[in-house]
Structure 1
């Protein structure tokens, strides 16, 4: 009986991850929506057959770190070099305008300044995991338009995490040193780690002769670097999700083997990351809509505010850096999806007691809606001109 009680929650996680993902894949819908809705379905507010125990919660927390690690790992810093002209303008406009809207919504509904700022920080984030497949599907990934969209999304996610770090350090003061020194140490640590990575990988693989053993050793070394980086930065006062992202960012241009990257993705997206999304769904309290007044209006304002501010600021940024109206609209629509960083920041805020459950629910619904409609909007706004005409800006 005890064995069944211990394994049943884990079985449910695997079942939802496989069964719901397959159904949604057949419907051509994002698999993350399947995990979130599957979590809601088996959670306490619907079927009530799934309870998050200590083991599942621990796997979910690992999944959260892996989610941000993969977000950093799939970031290509070379994008900034190629498209740096106009990238900063687009990213700042598309980040700071939605942030102001998010703060305004929080203040309007009577939340404290800290909570309102956290809402604004969530509005800054984007979703590179949704943007890249959408650009690939529309043959835009190799164009300057696609490069700028990807680069701006990366900058917005980094900006969101840096702002979250500053907010957490301000209210919790977990850093053992003053903030300016703390961030100086952080930047120095990232630079040193990036310089030392080749030597670290050589150290782990130098004594291995068999190619299969070498591959396995390289895989283990990546996880040693990840966990070690998270532990070191957490000791300095940096939250694990931010440390995980920066660890992936440092490794992003170092790992060249597609086979190795494929194994890392298989481990991350096979168990850990799906568990996190299912937990988010299961812990989403949809009963707040009937328990408290104004929650439906709050959710509507959160979704509408995010979509409109992302669309408008993306269009404005596109026009300011020289794109025509249609391309600027494409930029705006590509910034609508909010997923990985949004849920990571919201989940972290809830875990730290900063974000009330009605706002967490609103953020989950925001992620579901924007992840679903975002790719459709990108397809709708896709320029009908030939792919070559999109590269005219590269001259």
Structure 2
């Protein structure tokens, strides 16, 4: 199928996926991303073979991933994610990184780059995927939501840093670390700028153009995103780091300059991301999914449950051990399951691994497949645990019609 035809097909799937999620959600809440990826696999070369993408669709997919990470960065409220909870979440992720790298090193027979790829992928948390589920169930508010935000934020931000240091720079982690420090310094300066009070005219322009074709606030946010993506690229770092930093900066600027309009502005950014770019990313992920490599030969298929178990052991076990003491056992287990849910960063990391020829197609498919199963299974189990515990639920659970993100 031609590129325009493939794009039409992708957008048709983007419309069909939430309908399927809504219909099934009455009986079993399935994250929307599962439908998007599975339908992408169906139209991809290994099943129907009717979708083939080119540079244009690849660019849209890359923008979708950047928007996904940007929105995840925007969701983080550092005013609530701090203190002992933040320290515990950092220690849990560092323990997961050490455990993941050690496990991957043993499994790969000492292959350094492969160990970096697999070990880093095992430490990720799909915060963007989990957040809508938490929001729909009412668990985002209260103590559990605050703890989950801390552990999820570190589980998303940590792997991005690790990717930058371990997987960027063509095997020169020292150089990547220096570049990362320089990027951090520039970002810190941008944060200081963002925290400064905005002049009255800035908020006035936002208010006057919010319901007009000018849309100054939306354009300003897109400029911030483009600037941080360009900055990370200029420093030779992964652009996901720039997208995440742009999300943090955007929250600071909007809440400082136009707090009364920030939610409306975010809604319009989310409409652009979740309504167009993010679905393209997940559907293209499905199209690119190497189903034959997963099913042929048997080894890759056997690796899938192994990786799924490792998500729980490597990422989940440190979370359970280091979770705040005031959480009940059921809530600690739910936190473990949510934190072990992974997919978008797994896709990004395995893509780097394939580009570096550190992973085989089967290994990459097994990792992504395990991430897909984690998104399907772990949040459902966590929802049941939270419903049984009945603690701090601020709204009655309702079917999760899907998640537009990690």
- TM-score, length of structure 2 as denominator length: 0.84
Distance in structure 2 (CA, Å) of the matches to 1:327 and 1:188: 37
Match of 1:63 in 2: 64
1:326 maps to which of 321, 327, 330: 330
Q: Give the secondary structure class of the aligned counterpart of 2:160.
A: helix
How do 1:145-164 residues align onto structure 2 when only pairs under 5 Å count? 145-164=144-163
Shift of the 114–315 alpha-carbon distance from structure 1 to 2, 3 Å rule, reads same
How do 1:336-347 residues align onto structure 2 when only pairs under 5 Å count? 336-347=340-351
How do 1:44-123 residues align onto structure 2 when only pairs under 5 Å count? 44-81=45-82, 84-94=83-93, 96-97=95-96, 100-101=99-100, 103-105=102-104, 107-110=106-109, 112-123=111-122
Length, aligned pairs only: 382
How much has 1:9 moved relative to structure 2? Answer: 0.8
Match of 1:253 in 2: 252
The one-character-per-residue Cα deviations of 1:73-108 (angstroms, maximum 9, x if unpaired) are 122222223xx2133224422553365246424532
Q: Which stretches in structure 1 are left out of the alignment for 5+ residues?
A: 391-395
The range that moved more, 243-252 or 337-346, is 337-346
The one-character-per-residue Cα deviations of 1:265-290 (angstroms, maximum 9, x if unpaired) are 01111111111111111111111134
Match of 1:376 in 2: 380
Matched, 1:274 2:273: no
Distance in structure 1 (CA, Å) of the matches to 2:171 and 2:101: 22
Distance in structure 2 (CA, Å) of the matches to 1:332 and 1:92: 14
Distance in structure 2 (CA, Å) of the matches to 1:199 and 1:314: 36
How much has 1:154 moved relative to structure 2? Answer: 0.3
Distance in structure 2 (CA, Å) of the matches to 1:312 and 1:153: 14
The range that moved more, 226-235 or 39-48, is 226-235
Are the counterparts in 2 of residues 99 and 124 from structure 1 also a CA contact under 8 Å? no
Matched, 1:365 2:369: yes
How much has 1:119 moved relative to structure 2? Answer: 0.9
Shift of the 129–65 alpha-carbon distance from structure 1 to 2, 3 Å rule, reads closer
Are the counterparts in 2 of residues 42 and 50 from structure 1 also a CA contact under 8 Å? yes
Shift of the 331–388 alpha-carbon distance from structure 1 to 2, 3 Å rule, reads closer
How do 1:306-321 residues align onto structure 2 when only pairs under 5 Å count? 306-318=311-323, 321=325
The one-character-per-residue Cα deviations of 1:302-351 (angstroms, maximum 9, x if unpaired) are 11111244343222122x64534333222222222112333233334334
Shift of the 192–236 alpha-carbon distance from structure 1 to 2, 3 Å rule, reads same
Are the counterparts in 2 of residues 241 and 344 from structure 1 also a CA contact under 8 Å? no
Match of 1:5 in 2: 2
Q: Give the secondary structure class of the aligned counterpart of 2:291.
A: coil
Shift of the 303–99 alpha-carbon distance from structure 1 to 2, 3 Å rule, reads farther
Distance in structure 1 (CA, Å) of the matches to 2:67 and 2:88: 30
Distance in structure 2 (CA, Å) of the matches to 1:58 and 1:30: 25
Distance in structure 2 (CA, Å) of the matches to 1:33 and 1:23: 11
Match of 2:130 in 1: 131
Distance in structure 1 (CA, Å) of the matches to 2:172 and 2:24: 47
2:18 maps to which of 11, 17, 21: 21
- TM-score, length of structure 1 as denominator length: 0.86
How much has 1:211 moved relative to structure 2? Answer: 5.1
The range that moved more, 242-251 or 340-349, is 340-349
Match of 1:296 in 2: 301
How much has 1:47 moved relative to structure 2? Answer: 0.2
